[in-house]
Amino acid sequence: MKFDTKPYEEKMKKTIEAYRDNLSSIRAGRANPDVLKKITVDYYGSPTPISAIAEIKVTDARTIVITAWDKSAMKSIEKAIMTSDLGIHPQNDGTCIRLSFPPTTEERRRELSKQVSKLGEDAKVAIRNIRRDANDKIKTMKKNSELTEDEAKSGDKAVQDLTDRFIKEIDAITAEKTKEVMAV
């Protein structure tokens, strides 16, 4: 019997997806509609993502235009953006809401870079926790004589190789996002 690393690989892939998703909400000086992903609007009593009730367009490098399909939702969308941690004041002209992203200062870019690094470290910790779970499973299976000594060693090596691969991927994603954030 050989130790199956597939379920742990799937968990690591999900960790990478979650990391990419978290990074998408960090704005890097350019208008990016992903920054609105986590903002929900109180629409007829239920929390609704902005993209479900409005069209979101990037008109230029620093402007996002939101056009609600139901004009009565404009005030709710504006309020949701103002109360979010986006740090941008929406301009509502009655037909659409404009979000103008100011150029980021050097200090703000450094702050965002630190945030990216922290998210990267959190993702690495999650990967290492998955590795620990896999190693614990291997030890248990070896103790219960479900795996031989050699199978346990090859299982440990396979899990470590998997961990190294995903840690390297996180480093690459972090470097790419940091470069994007630091670009003027």
Hey, where are the domains in the chain?
6-24+105-182, 33-100
pLDDT-derived band at 95 (thresholds 50, 70, 90) equals: confident
Mean pLDDT for the stretch of residues 156-178? 94
CATH fold for domain 6-24+105-182: Topoisomerase I; Chain A, domain 4 (1.10.132)
Do the domains 33-100 and 6-24+105-182 match in fold?
Answer: no
Q: Which tokens in the block code for residue 93?
A: 């002209």
Does the structure show a pLDDT above 80 at 75? yes
Q: Which tokens in the block code for residue 134?
A: 């896999």
Q: What is the pLDDT of residues 115-136, one digit of tens each?
A: 999 999 999 999 999 999 999 9
